[in-house]
Every structure is written in structure tokens, then in C-alpha cells.
Amino acid sequence: MMQRLRSSDPGFARDFARIVRDRRESDESVARDVQTIIEDVRLRGDEALAEYTEKFDGHVPEDGNWQIPLEDCREAFDALQPELRAALELAAQRIRAYHEAQLPEDRDYTDAIGMRLGARWRAVDGAGLYVPGGRAAYPSSLLMNAIPARVAGVERLVMMTPTPKGEVNPLVLAAAHLAGVDEVWRVGGAQAIAALAHGTKTIKPVDVITGPGNAWVAEAKRQLFGVVGIDMVAGPSEILVIADAKNDPQWIAVDLLSQAEHDPVAQSILITDDAAFADQVADMIGVEIAMLPKAKIAKASWDAYGVIIVVDSLDEAPALANALAAEHVEIATDNPEVLFDQIRHAGSVFLGRVTPEAIGDYIAGPNHVLPTGRRARFSSGLSVLDFMKRTSFIAGTDQALAAIGPAAIALAEAEGLTAHARSIELRLGI
């Protein structure tokens, strides 16, 4: 059942530490299975893809063509109801504007000794975008992955999506058209990630792979990091809500369920300073779950991983939030900035009573691809920088080399790297 903790209880530190340690991610058997799939795809390419697609998705294209025509994507977009098309276009516009502001500037300057220094940012050549097609299909995730890549300047966007029984979600195809995806392939799972990384006879490899997926997809990305770049190793969704008793308990209950309905192993946590309010939220969650189409998923998540923490004062909340380093953090108080200033580890923070996490999932602008499993301690949400790399440059002059060359020679000799030292000595005429 859902856990309820009180920070003043003697066993709180022990119980809270157990929640922090809980990973809710793939086990060793998944890692072994994924390793086998990756190696099989690397060695047998398209033949392995066909076998795994038939095994896991129940189909193989009759014509042997794994690629979905871009015309199908355009037709799906044109067929959208006007209201939904306008919503997707608004989301794309806001996501693009936010990420355009992230573009880094090149540096080029000459220092005091006359040495020219700087760095240039350039996009990768190709990016692979994974779009789930199992429990749910998310066109919003495609926009969040594809648009930053385009803004960064990536020339080739390759989308991989599983198509159970050969069916493709038309909303995903419509989003692919809106985002300007170049290739769409009906391949999913760890085998899709392996194909993007190693390439096959029909699918050219990419340089970076991004996008959410199940435990097998996440594990494949983890194992292939280094062969390609990845956005992150993402685990189950999570939300932390910090709320006082001035909130509507129904609002907070639904905010918690907004992540619980994603996955049976998603986690929703409430921190409040009012025990009566905590009771109201808990009661309202029971009411709201019963009305959800995905009630079974949400109930499994809340029962197994839901947590309510009652603190004596919300001043305690930032330290707890920093330990949890949650994917999403809502601060629903009169003056959320006071607590926000103390939050050091969070994927994304939602400030105030009228900023539900769901607004960030779709339309606000910042990316909703965020670190989970406490990885917000050392990583950030997806950005244009995930599709770019920085190349530094140096341009010397006789004067500049004379000024710093002797120090470089001394360091090279101290490290026993004689050719390093000699390459400088020759230019200085030493």
C-alpha cells in the first residue's frame, strides 16, 4: 500500500532513505537479453530485425519495406481535426522558440600574448528518435525530441517506432510531418536502438539517439553509449509535489496521478505540512483513480510506490527534494520562489498553484525529456546541446609561442614525453 511518513517520527530517516534508494529499473535479465539482441543485430542486420519484429510486434512487412512513406505522415497531418492540428502546431511553435534561445554562441578571441583561441559549435550529422508504440504513443514526445534536433541543425532525422500488428498511430505520423522527420521506420525495441547505432543494409547509422522507451530500450541505449551519443538512460516517470493546505486537494491528487497513469512502476510523492490536507488528498486520489481510463495502471503505481510525507514545516521540503532529485517537482505554495531557490536537484520545476506538470508535458516550451532515478543530481533535460558538439581551436604566432612554449616544454619533459617537448623546441629554435 501507499506509504505515509511523518518527518518527526523516529524511523523517518530510515524509511525515507529506502525510498531514495529505490531504483524501479531494469534487472540483470533485461541487460542480458538486450546484449544478445544488440550483438545479433550488429552481426545479422536486417535479418535479425525481421525476426525480432515478428516475435515482439507480430508482423513483418509483406513487401519487405520497413520504411513508412513520408506521404503517409503528411496525409495523417492533413486528416487531423482542426482543433488538434492547431494544438500540435502551437506546441511545436512554443517548443521551437524555447529551444532556439538555447543555441550556444561560438567563441573567437585573441588573448594578451597574441594567441587566438575559441570554439565552434556544430550539429551532429544524424539523430535517431525513438517513439514508443506499445502501452501508449506520444506525439508530444516526438516534438520534444525532433524539434531541438532541427533547431541544432541536424540534417538527418530518423524515427523508429514499433508497429504492433503493423498498425501505426496516426498522431505520431502527423507529428513526424510537423517536425520534419526525414525517415520513419516500423521497428521498435532494443533492436531498433541497435540498428540506429550500428546500421544495417537498409538503415544507415546515426550519431545520437534520443527518446523514451521501455526497460529494454533504455538498457539498449545504456549499452550502446559510446558507439553513439544518447540523451539519457531514462527510467519510470516520477513527480514530487510540495503543497500546503491552501491548495484544492482534488488538484493535487490529479497532479500526482498524472505520472502514476504512465506506468505501474511510476512514482508520485506528496510533501505537505498539514496532516488533514494529506488525508484529503489521499481520499481524493481514490476517487479520481476510479474515473481514469487507465485506473489499473494508476492504482498499481500509487499502491506500490505512492508516498505522502507530512513535515512539521515546508522549510524541510527542499532538503528532501534534493535527496530525491525527482524528474518533476511542483511547488504549490503562495511564494514558491522561496523554496525554489533552495532546490538544487530536479529535472524541471513547476511554480505556483496553477502550473500543473502536465502543462510542461505538452505546450509550455521547455523539454519534457527529463532525468529520472535521481539522475537530476548530475544531468539535465534534453536540449539542443544534446545534438551538438563543441570543437575548440588554437592559432599561434611566433610571439605567442615564445611566451608560453618554454612552460609547455617543461611540463612535457616532466611527463617524460620527449616528442611533445621537441615539437615545441624545434619551432623556438632551442
Which residues are part of the catalytic machinery? 327-328
Angle between helical axes of 28-44 and 189-198 (0-180°, round to 10): 50
Q: Tell whether 198 is in a known binding site.
A: no
Give CA–CA dist 217/190, Å, rounded: 5
What φ, ψ does residue 228 adopt, rounded to 5°?
A: -135, 165
Hey, is 182 helix, strand or coil? coil
Distance CA 252, CA 281 (A): 7
Answer left, alpha or beta for residue 180, where phi above 0 means left and psi between -120 and 50 means alpha. left
d(CA 349, CA 310): 20
On whether 237 is known to bind a ligand per the annotation, the reply is yes
262 labelled as ligand-binding?
yes
Residue with cell 565552434: 120
191 labelled ligand-binding = yes
List CB contacts of 243: < 8 A, sequence separation 6 or more.
252, 270, 271, 272, 277, 281, 330, 332, 333
301 known ligand binder: no
Q: Which of 241, 207, 239 is nearest to 224 (CA)?
A: 207
The residues with which 395 forms a beta bridge, in sequence order, are: 116
Is residue 130 a known part of a binding site? yes
> How far, in Å, are 160, 192, 203, 324 from residue 45 at the CA level?
15, 11, 9, 41
Residue 328 among known ligand-binding residues = yes
Residue 420, marked binder: yes
250 is in an annotated binding site: no
d(CA 298, CA 2): 12
Start-to-end C-alpha separation, the chain? 77
Q: What is the CA radius of gyration of the chain?
A: 25
361 is in an annotated binding site: yes
Q: Which residue type does 77 have?
A: F
Q: Which residues are annotated as a binding site?
A: 130, 191, 214, 237, 259, 262, 328, 361, 415, 420
Q: Which residues are annotated as a binding site for substrate?
A: 237, 259, 262, 328, 361, 415, 420
Q: Which residues are annotated as a binding site for NAD(+)?
A: 130, 191, 214
Q: Which residues are annotated as a binding site for Zn(2+)?
A: 259, 262, 361, 420
